[in-house]
Amino acid sequence: MTSDKLKTPTVALGTWAWGDSGETGDGYFGSPLTQPGLEEVADKAHAAGFPMWDTAVVYGMGRSETVLGEVLKRYARSDYQLSTKFTPQAAGASDDPVADMLQQSLARLGTGYIDLYWIHNPADVARWTPHLIPLLKSGKVRHVGVSNHNLSEIELANQILGEAGFRVQAIQNHYSLLYRSSEDAGIMDYCRNHGIPFFAYMVLEQGALTGKYSPENPLPEGSSRAKTYNGMLAQLKALTDKLASIGQSQGAAAPDVATAWAIAKGTTPIIGVTKPNYIDGLVRATSITLTGDDIAELEALADAANVNTRGWWEKEM
């Protein structure tokens, strides 16, 4: 038994920031967000043909899923795809914490099924992966993937699902110009060789690679991302300037080029969208052409920045 092939979009839309309260400076991202603003984001994404939304229970402990469900209810369910996650660290104590967490996500998102359901991290691959099988059989979950797993953990998950006639249908890891551990560890080659789509998260390093933030204009004070990135913004200037200059020659901006780089590397970037005009950037990103020299130059500048942007929840690959 196998489920249908996943329809992989060119770009997916991330909603971690939607789990914040929406007040400036508050929460993980500290961006000002309003429901009408997010509805405008969704309308533009819908019009531009970007159907896939990524969320997780732990983004604001249900808040991101609830807000996303509210915003998407103006569209037919067949017009969009939902991607959400089981987070082992937030599991309850029932007989089947995965089924329970999924049920709560379905209720918050106002849907009967999830297009792409992930194990958020490899807390215990042998324990949690088998719980996906009944969910696939029931149709509540159409496709499954694993996130933050290293190569041997991916292979183990694939073996467990394979014994039941299913397989890992997508990988989701941190992958940006500044953080290429999945490439170095052979995970991207594995995906290519096995026809598994690789979803890249934090391609813009939570805003630090957009060129919009600098030591003079840092990330919102009080937010978690400010603590991670504000101290390295000066070192990123040569790279963000180069992203901007490549963009300028094609009528695009620095974040569009960073996104285009991830597409050129064979990934589906998941970009955190907080403002309607960011959707225009994604449209531009899908038509940017990067030469081999552009890519080599960007990667050399990224290496020269000499920063480590590994998230606190991530381990070495």
Ligand X SMILES: NC(=O)c1ccc[n+]([C@@H]2O[C@H](COP(=O)([O-])OP(=O)(O)OC[C@H]3O[C@@H](n4cnc5c(N)ncnc54)[C@H](OP(=O)(O)O)[C@@H]3O)[C@@H](O)[C@H]2O)c1
Instruction: Among 11, 17, 119, 135, indicate the residue that binds ligand X (CB under 6 A).
Output: 17
Residue 202 interacts with ligand X (CB under 6 A): yes or no: yes
161 or 258: whose CB is closer to ligand X?
A: 258
Residue 205 interacts with ligand X (CB under 6 A): yes or no: yes
- 225 to 264, contacts with ligand X by CB under 6 A? 255
Piece in contact with ligand X (CB under 6 A), picked from 36-44, 102-110, 136-144, 206-214:
206-214
Residue 281 interacts with ligand X (CB under 6 A): yes or no: yes
| Residue 120 identity (one-letter amino acid) | H
47 or 94: whose CB is closer to ligand X?
A: 47
Residue 65 interacts with ligand X (CB under 6 A): yes or no: no
Residues with Cβ within 8 Å of 117's Cβ and at least 6 positions away in sequence, in order, are: 83, 84, 85, 86, 102, 132, 135, 141, 143, 144, 145
Name the H helices within 74-139. 97-109, 125-128, 132-138
137 or 212: whose CB is closer to ligand X?
A: 212
Instruction: Among 177, 270, 288, 317, indicate the residue that binds ligand X (CB under 6 A).
Output: 270
Long-range pairs for 273-277 at CB < 8 Å and ≥24 separation?
273/13, 273/14, 273/15, 273/41, 273/45, 274/17, 274/18, 274/29, 274/31, 274/33, 274/41, 275/37, 275/41, 276/37, 276/40, 276/41, 276/43, 276/44
Piece in contact with ligand X (CB under 6 A), picked from 44-52, 178-186, 273-281, 301-309:
273-281
Residue 80 interacts with ligand X (CB under 6 A): yes or no: no
The nearest distance, CB 81 to ligand X, in angstroms, is: 13
Distance between CA 201 and CA 190 in Å, rounded? Answer: 18
The nearest distance, CB 171 to ligand X, in angstroms, is: 10
DSSP state of 179: B
Around Cβ 266, how many Cβ atoms within 10 Å? 13
Instruction: Among 105, 129, 147, 309, indicate the residue that binds ligand X (CB under 6 A).
Output: 147
The nearest distance, CB 220 to ligand X, in angstroms, is: 7
> 43: closest CA among 250, 252, 202, 276?
276
Residue found under tokens 């941190």: 174
The nearest distance, CB 27 to ligand X, in angstroms, is: 11
Residue 15 interacts with ligand X (CB under 6 A): yes or no: yes
Distance between CA 90 and CA 101 in Å, rounded? Answer: 9
CA angle 41, 43, 44 (to 5 degrees): 65
Where do contacts with ligand X occur on this chain (CB under 6 A)? 14-17, 29, 31, 54, 120, 147-148, 172, 201-207, 210, 212, 255, 270-272, 274-275, 278, 281
